[in-house]
Amino acid sequence: MTDFPRFPPGFVFGAATASYQIEGAAHEDGRGPSIWDTYSHTPGLVANGDTGDIACDHYHRYPEDVALLRELGVDSYRFSIAWPRIVPAGSGAVNPKGLDFYARLVDELLAAGIEPAVTLYHWDLPQALEDRGGWRVRETAERFAEYTAVVAEHLADRVPRWITLNEPWCSAFLGYSVGRHAPGAREGRGALAAAHHLLVGHGLAVQALRAAGVREAGITLNLDRNLPATGSAADRAAVVRADTQHNLVWTEPLLAGRYPDTEEETWGELISGQDFRRDGDPALIGQPLDFLGINYYRPTVVADAPYREADPARRTATDNRYAEVRLEGVRHTAMEWPVVPDSLTDLLVALKERYGEALPPIHITENGSAEHDEPSADGTVHDRDRVAYLRDHLTALKSALDAGVDVRGYYVWSLLDNFEWALGYGKRFGIVRVDYDTLRRTPKDSYHWYRALIAAQRR
């Protein structure tokens, strides 16, 4: 008999996915192109030339996927809405067929006794908006609020939990500085402007959600637990820059209504002038939230490092003198991410210490692992490493609750194997295997384990 960690009554257990990673049907029912269509169809950018054109074909197979969720016993399902299905050109005409798809999905979930949790932006920006500057320009934030209002008007009565943005760090910095996510830019100020406009878009979207009367509005951040490679002053200073880059750039405006006081030492010249900021933005961004979503996978060990680019004019916003160091002595997942469950506890406790009463209740909106799954002939996968990962992280999460952090829910990433962005379909995070030739779904051992954990809470 397995000993499962026990969570308080009412704690939400869920599973999460995102539109471009699972839906497919890229050209159906009036969906417009997104930056990920453009990126994935550009030769050489995504492993194996993979695209989201078909993905898991969830767009057609959603009843089967909802049946898997019902059988799993989750309270809630977190999915994202594809902006280019709703407003194909990014602004202007609304596509009723796009709205219909999500209304059908929501109804199917409710009929299965599962609460929908909607993410409004999980990275699939309409290409038409990128052509006008993307997140570098404030107009995109305004269009995001309009799209949010349209979706909320249709679904607010049936969807209790709303997430404005998923991991804006990835949108701003992987997208506009590192260039490993769409739109693939490598910029300095452009990326910082993108970060700011994502926050402005969040603030405007919260206003739209409030106007529609939604029950809970929040945002999801991928916060990092940054650890110094050594005790040297230089490595500790590198941690401050990494914290600013990954965490404080979001948490300070969102939770404290101010910009980080470490931004100059992190971005130097790039942040000076800040002409993309307007009076009133901190209050807009820092509106009260009903919850904070946190996606957690691993800690990061950082060391001081020289600038990658000697020429200041060529520096990007992520070229700020620190390097990631491999953590030895722990297991690494198929993503080469170190497995350190305790750092989830530490991250949450540190957040509570820093923000105190200003920290809203937390939902872990993603946690999971990509593993080297070996399916047997019938498609079953005995994914012991993933089971251990989930068990140990849920145990670490329970420790955070015991330490007084107000955590209300946990969503496993992911329900299905799916399109892992620039890494294509080679990295599998699902608790359900997807055979990409037949699109057949087969629950893995981790699915059965999670189902048993959820059932044990109710006994």
Q: Which residues are catalytic?
A: 167, 366
> Smaller CB distance to ligand IFM: residue 128 or 163?
163
Q: Applying CB under 6 A, does 295 fall inside the site for ligand IFM?
A: yes
The 151-170 contact track toward ligand IFM, x by CB under 6 A, reads ----------------x---
Nearest Cα residue to 356 out of 294, 317, 412, 404? 404
Q: How far is the CB of 22 from ligand IFM (least distance, A)?
A: 10
Nearest to ligand IFM of 32, 168 (CB atom) = 168
| Cis before 260 (ω within 30) | no
Tell which residue, 122, 101, 95, has the closest CA to residue 35: 122
Residue pair 126/89 in contact by the 8 Å Cβ criterion: yes
CB 397 within 8 A of CB 409: no
> Is the Cβ–Cβ distance between 271 and 192 less than 8 Å?
yes
CB of 413 to ligand IFM, least distance (A): 6
Q: How far does CA 20 lie from the centroid of its chain?
A: 13
Query: At 339, which amino acid appears?
Result: V
Regarding 145 and contact with ligand IFM (CB under 6 A), the answer is no
Task: For the segment 409-448, give every residue that binds ligand IFM (CB under 6 A).
Answer: 413, 420, 429
Cβ-based nearer residue to ligand IFM, 121 or 322: 121
Minimal distance in Å, beta carbon 429 to ligand IFM?
6
Cross-strand pairs, 14? 76, 411
Give 167 or 243: the residue with its C-beta nearer to ligand IFM. Answer: 167
Query: Nearest distance from residue 419's CB to ligand IFM, in Å?
Result: 8
Structure tokens at 249: 């750039």
Number of residues interacting with ligand IFM: please give it, by CB under 6 A: 8
Contact between 81 and 151 under an 8 Å Cβ cutoff? The reply is: yes
Q: How far is the CB of 427 from ligand IFM (least distance, A)?
A: 8
Select 130 or 417, whichever has its Cβ closest to ligand IFM: 417
Q: How far is the CB of 258 from ligand IFM (least distance, A)?
A: 27
Interaction pattern, residues 322-361, with ligand IFM; x per rule: CB under 6 A: ----------------------------------------
Distance CA 447, CA 285 (A): 38
Judge whether 390 and 446 are in contact, CB under 8 Å. Answer: yes
Computed from CA positions of residues 390, 178, 239, 241, in that sequence, does the dihedral angle turn out positive or negative? Answer: negative
Residue ranges of E strands in 266-403 = 291-295, 299-304, 322-325, 362-366
Using CB under 6 A as the binding rule, the residues of this chain from 359 to 378 that contact ligand IFM are: 366
Q: Give how far Cα 317 sits from Cα of 20, 198, 239, Å.
A: 26, 15, 16
Q: Please name the residue that has the structure tokens 């471009």.
A: 20
- Residues of the chain by 3-state class (helix, strand, coil), percent to 5: 45, 15, 40
* Footprint of ligand IFM on 169-198 (CB under 6 A): none
**Which of 228/338 has CB closer to ligand IFM?**
338
| Residue with smaller CB distance to ligand IFM, 21 or 51 | 21
Q: Output the CA–CA distances (angstroms, integers) from residue 448 to 410, 451, 452, in the order listed.
A: 17, 5, 6
Burial annotation 285-296 (CB, 10 A radius, 16+ → b, else e): bbeebbbbbbbb
Binding of residue 18 to ligand IFM (CB under 6 A): yes
Give whichever of 18 and 81 is closer to ligand IFM, judged by the CB atom: 18
Q: How far is CA 104 from CA 56, 182, 415, in A?
A: 18, 29, 19
Q: How far is the CB of 295 from ligand IFM (least distance, A)?
A: 5
Residues lying near ligand IFM in the complex (CB under 6 A) are found at 18, 21, 167, 295, 366, 413, 420, 429
